[in-house]
């Protein structure tokens, strides 16, 4: 069984595009599944010239993407990927996509099992198997589309190269926010709390310019890790139903606790008083800052590494793909 992995058309599966969570997931998927014994072929839908023709000149442009499947970019993307896979495919291969509905045309014509392997979006496809990033997100999407349970769908979390994340037991005297500086990411909550308490705040990401703190804009991945790992805590006050919000797990891999909300994935990944705090009102955020030093950073890092390493998550995907292979035989009854 070979896995055909389709990257997004406007990015490259490199560290340079680390700000795009989906591209990062594609980049890590290759070594993760190769370590599990799978042959993985990465299909890059558009070359540099084609990307530039659609207005994508580099990592800073990754947010400009429009997921309307009728756009010429997606028509060319699907045509290129269809041709690329058809040249090397075998009957039992699996196509892994990360984009959803813009790839429906590819799914309809490829003639292979297709898996949306990291769903953190609502625009899921027809005639695919679904792997969601969290139970919260699967339930949300199922409710939105009035879907019944499907036994060959699954929940598998994001995975990370744990060796890239240093464990810092003695942090510096600041708090951090990493992510797009837009309202629904909650960066203003981090600003207000830190300003009220007189705490230093470092913010990394694209978006609106904050009114408080040391705003550093878009940074290379290694610099982002450095900021998170040395922070007393990472603010992730997301106000929408969070599919996964990978930055909060990246912080935990360094031993850095997180201060977040009671939305989405956080109910599955954050235990109050253990690896962070889930807050329901402003006072909770203030109290979390005051109690953050009581948490065991070494234990936070150990727990995160046990749950989200490439090895742990890779085995979950390997087991899942093995289950899908039974559909060529008895399927449910195998």
pLDDT tens digits, residue range 71-91? 999 999 999 999 999 999 999
Same-domain status, 120 and 222: no
Same-domain status, 58 and 84: yes
Same-domain status, 149 and 216: no
pLDDT tens-digit series, residues 279-310: 999 999 999 999 999 999 999 999 999 999 99
- 163-176: average pLDDT: 98
Q: What is the pLDDT of residue 334?
A: 67
Residue 176 — φ and ψ, nearest 5°?
A: -135, 155
Same-domain status, 155 and 41: yes
Residue 177 — φ and ψ, nearest 5°?
A: -135, 125
Same-domain status, 173 and 119: no
Instruction: Tell me if 215 sits within 8 A of 209, measured CB to CB.
Output: yes
Q: What is the mean pLDDT of the chain?
A: 96
Same-domain status, 168 and 275: yes
Other CB atoms within 10 Å distance of the CB of residue 52: 13
- 32-54: average pLDDT: 97
Same-domain status, 315 and 183: no
Distance CA 330, CA 328 (A): 7
Same-domain status, 303 and 217: yes
Same-domain status, 151 and 266: no
What is the domain range of residue 288?
163-307
Same-domain status, 17 and 146: yes
Count CA within 13 A, CB hemisphere, residue 236.
Answer: 32
CA angle 137, 138, 143 (to 5 degrees): 95
Looking at the DSSP assignment, which residues form a beta bridge with residue 278? 260
Number of domains composing the chain? 2
The residue with tokens 């749950």 is 307
Q: Is the pLDDT of residue 333 over 90?
A: no
The gap between the terminal CA atoms of the chain, to the nearest Å, is: 18
Q: Which CATH number goes with the domain that contains 188? A: 3.40.50.2000
């Amino acid at each position: 069984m070979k896995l055909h992995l389709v990257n997004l058309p406007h990015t490259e599966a490199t560290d340079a595009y680390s700000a795009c969570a989906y591209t990062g997931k594609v980049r890590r998927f290759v070594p993760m599944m190769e370590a599990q014994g799978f042959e993985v072929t990465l299909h890059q839908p558009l070359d540099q010239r084609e990307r530039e023709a659609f207005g994508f000149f580099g990592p800073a442009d990754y947010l400009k993407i429009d997921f309307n499947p009728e756009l010429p970019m997606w028509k060319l993307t699907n045509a290129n990927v269809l041709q690329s896979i058809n040249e090397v495919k075998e009957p039992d291969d699996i196509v892994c996509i990360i984009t959803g509905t813009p790839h429906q045309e590819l799914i309809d014509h490829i003639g292979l099992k297709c898996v949306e392997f990291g769903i953190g979006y609502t625009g899921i496809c027809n005639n695919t198997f679904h792997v969601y990033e969290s139970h919260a997100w699967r339930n949300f999407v199922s409710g939105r589309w009035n879907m019944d349970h499907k036994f060959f769908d699954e929940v598998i979390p994001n995975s990370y190269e744990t060796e890239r994340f240093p464990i810092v037991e003695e942090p510096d005297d600041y708090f951090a926010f990493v992510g797009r500086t837009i309202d629904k990411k909650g960066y203003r909550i981090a600003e207000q709390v830190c300003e009220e308490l007189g705490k230093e705040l470092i913010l990394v990401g694209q978006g609106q310019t904050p009114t408080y703190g040391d705003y550093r804009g878009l940074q290379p991945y290694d610099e982002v890790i450095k900021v998170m790992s040395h922070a007393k805590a990472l603010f992730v006050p997301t106000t929408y139903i969070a599919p996964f919000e990978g930055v909060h797990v990246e912080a935990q891999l360094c031993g850095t606790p997180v201060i977040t909300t009671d939305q989405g994935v956080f109910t599955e990944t954050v235990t109050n008083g253990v690896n962070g705090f889930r807050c329901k009102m402003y006072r909770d955020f203030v109290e979390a800052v005051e109690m953050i030093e009581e948490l065991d950073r070494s234990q936070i890092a150990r727990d995160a590494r046990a749950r989200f390493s490439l090895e742990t998550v890779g085995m979950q995907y390997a087991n899942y793909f093995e289950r899908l292979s039974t559909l060529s035989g008895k399927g449910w009854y195998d």
